[in-house]
């Protein structure tokens, strides 16, 4: 699943800073009042390219842009040769400035993409995307802080579905020495580019869908249809949407108040996270040939900075001397196309306490089997999770780790929907006869049989055990048919 974005910038002193830093002069040094700006022309759809802006000073002010009025704090619209931009203009933020929408985007935003680069020869800057659910009264950070360095504009994608209007703010959080360029903020809906719905509108949150999933076939623009299909390229498709293509099993949302069912989107996988258990309820991802390469295993287990700050941060130390492995949901081996993708699988939000024999034998063999199918020309949609409480590791039985903050699950399950590589996957799942649905449900026990085929089951039985709605994006008839299947465990 990949790209979509918002931009909110703020401005503080202008001509004084420009006199000290001549290279920062812009095409205009006119200062503006901080009062909201009224627009004479109707707002244009996103992307916001900053081409309509003329704000050349850092002082705090509103600025009328193509998509609507934006507020700038310690920020301006730059057009100098040192500004990294896709057209003539880009936003430039210094110190701990910010830019923010003075209006709401209409409901239905599914993806936000924001492009960022370092200004001139400046060093790295850290910035964050914040979303307002109440018409700009309060904001909540979404996703992890982003570190931007180098002169190339790099797009950053935030995925989900906003069922009500939202507005965004971009906050530069690193210090005063380095400046940041922001350009081409893209907000996309299922039907095209987002547009303004007005100012002062309250409500709305950035959440992923559950029962509102489309039940009609959805083309995948990243796939190529031909008699000999090419592997999907992570750079040419929306990997975030691919990772959640079969549905949101628990209706997780990115509302931080939803601590037991929090939606966490990474380019490499999507998570329904339970902060009270310290582990994911489920993790969903897609595997194609483009995901498999030569990148070595990174082993950099670490906390996930994308979690809301009020959630407890599970660390590698939470598992120390417990007798349980830090068991991947999305395996390291499924993300070897590059170092960044492999590194993402070592975030602690992707881990569960897993009995060593379960992890290193039974599940390792299952994961290798899946990748062997991909190498044979298949692609796989995977959902994995766990349920229950209490497992038996190398040190015996345990219900929790880290003073009760991390639950040891009793059962660990996985669903693999395997089909020949191609295009229009949701449609093909309803029509082609050779779709396989491989479902596994194992005890989290060190005495487990290393042969994963001993634990084959159906999606229906996993749903009954977990209470989740699996494969919910498929048409009801297709969903019911596939969920009854019990695979043989052998390649067709």
Angle between helices 459-466 and 476-483 (to 10 degrees): 100
Q: How far apart are CA 85 and CA 91, in angstroms?
A: 9
Residue 370 has which token pair?
């899946």
CB 74 within 8 A of CB 61: no
CB 194 within 8 A of CB 205: no
Q: How far apart are CA 269 and CA 340, in angstroms?
A: 13
Per DSSP, the residues of 352-384 read: EEE-HHIIIIIIHHHHHHHHHHHHTTEEEEEEE
Q: How far apart are CA 166 and CA 6, in angstroms?
A: 10
Q: How far apart are CA 75 and CA 371, in angstroms?
A: 48
- Whether 2 is catalytic is no
Q: How far apart are CA 248 and CA 270, in angstroms?
A: 9
Half-sphere exposure of 251 (CA within 13 A, CB side): 7
Environment class of residue 476 by beta-carbon count within 10 Å: exposed (0-12), middle (13-18) or buried (19+)?
A: exposed
3-class secondary structure, 199: coil
Q: CA angle at residue 384 from 378 to 390, to 5 degrees? A: 150
Contacts of residue 65, defined as CB under 8 A and 6 or more positions apart, other chains included, come to 48, 50, 52, 53
Active site residue: 71, 286, 328, 357, which one? 328
CB 186 within 8 A of CB 151: no
Give catalytic residues, as residue numbers.
Answer: 328
């Amino acid at each position: 699943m990949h790209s979509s974005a918002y931009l909110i910038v703020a401005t503080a002193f202008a001509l004084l800073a420009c006199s000290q830093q001549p290279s920062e002069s812009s095409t205009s040094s006119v200062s503006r009042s901080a009062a909201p700006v009224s627009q004479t022309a109707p707002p244009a759809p996103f992307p916001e390219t900053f081409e309509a802006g003329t704000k050349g000073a850092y002082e705090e002010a509103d600025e009328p842009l193509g998509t609507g009025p934006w507020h700038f704090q310690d920020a301006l619209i730059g057009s100098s040769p040192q500004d990294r931009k896709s057209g003539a203009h880009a936003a430039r933020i210094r110190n701990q400035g910010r830019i923010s929408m003075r209006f709401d985007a209409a409901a239905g935003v599914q993806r936000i993409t924001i492009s960022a680069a370092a200004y001139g020869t400046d060093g790295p800057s850290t910035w964050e995307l914040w979303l307002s659910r109440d018409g700009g009264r309060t904001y909540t950070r979404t996703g992890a802080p982003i570190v931007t360095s180098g002169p190339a504009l790099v797009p950053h994608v935030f995925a989900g579905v906003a069922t009500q209007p939202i507005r965004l703010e971009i906050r530069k959080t690193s210090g005063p020495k380095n400046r940041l360029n922001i350009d081409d903020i893209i907000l996309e809906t299922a039907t095209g580019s987002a547009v303004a719905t007005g100012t002062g509108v309250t409500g709305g949150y950035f959440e992923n869908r559950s029962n509102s999933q489309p039940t009609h076939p959805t083309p995948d623009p990243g796939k190529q249809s031909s008699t000999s299909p090419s592997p999907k390229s992570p750079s040419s498709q929306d990997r975030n949407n691919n990772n959640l293509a079969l549905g949101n099993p628990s209706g997780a949302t990115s509302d931080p108040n939803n601590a037991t069912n929090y939606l966490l989107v990474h380019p490499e996988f999507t998570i329904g996270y339970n902060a009270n258990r310290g582990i994911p309820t489920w993790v969903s991802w897609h595997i194609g040939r483009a995901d498999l390469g030569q990148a070595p295993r990174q082993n950099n287990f670490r906390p996930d900075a994308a979690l809301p700050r009020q959630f407890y941060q599970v660390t590698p130390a939470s598992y120390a001397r417990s007798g349980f492995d830090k068991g991947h949901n999305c395996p390291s081996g499924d993300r070897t196309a590059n170092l960044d993708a492999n590194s993402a699988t070592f975030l602690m939000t992707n881990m569960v306490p897993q009995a060593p024999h379960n992890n290193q034998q039974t599940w390792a063999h299952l994961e290798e089997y899946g990748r062997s199918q991909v190498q044979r020309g298949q692609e796989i949609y995977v959902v994995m999770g766990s349920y229950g409480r209490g497992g038996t590791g190398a040190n015996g039985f345990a219900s929790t780790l880290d003073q009760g903050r991390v639950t040891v699950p009793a059962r660990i399950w996985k669903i693999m929907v395997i089909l020949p590589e191609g295009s229009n996957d949701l449609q093909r799942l309803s029509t082609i006869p050779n779709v396989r649905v491989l479902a596994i449900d194992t005890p989290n026990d060190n005495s487990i049989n290393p042969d994963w085929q001993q634990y084959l089951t159906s999606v229906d039985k996993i749903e009954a055990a977990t209470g989740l709605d699996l494969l919910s994006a498929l048409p009801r008839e297709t969903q019911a048919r596939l969920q009854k299947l019990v695979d043989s465990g052998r390649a067709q």
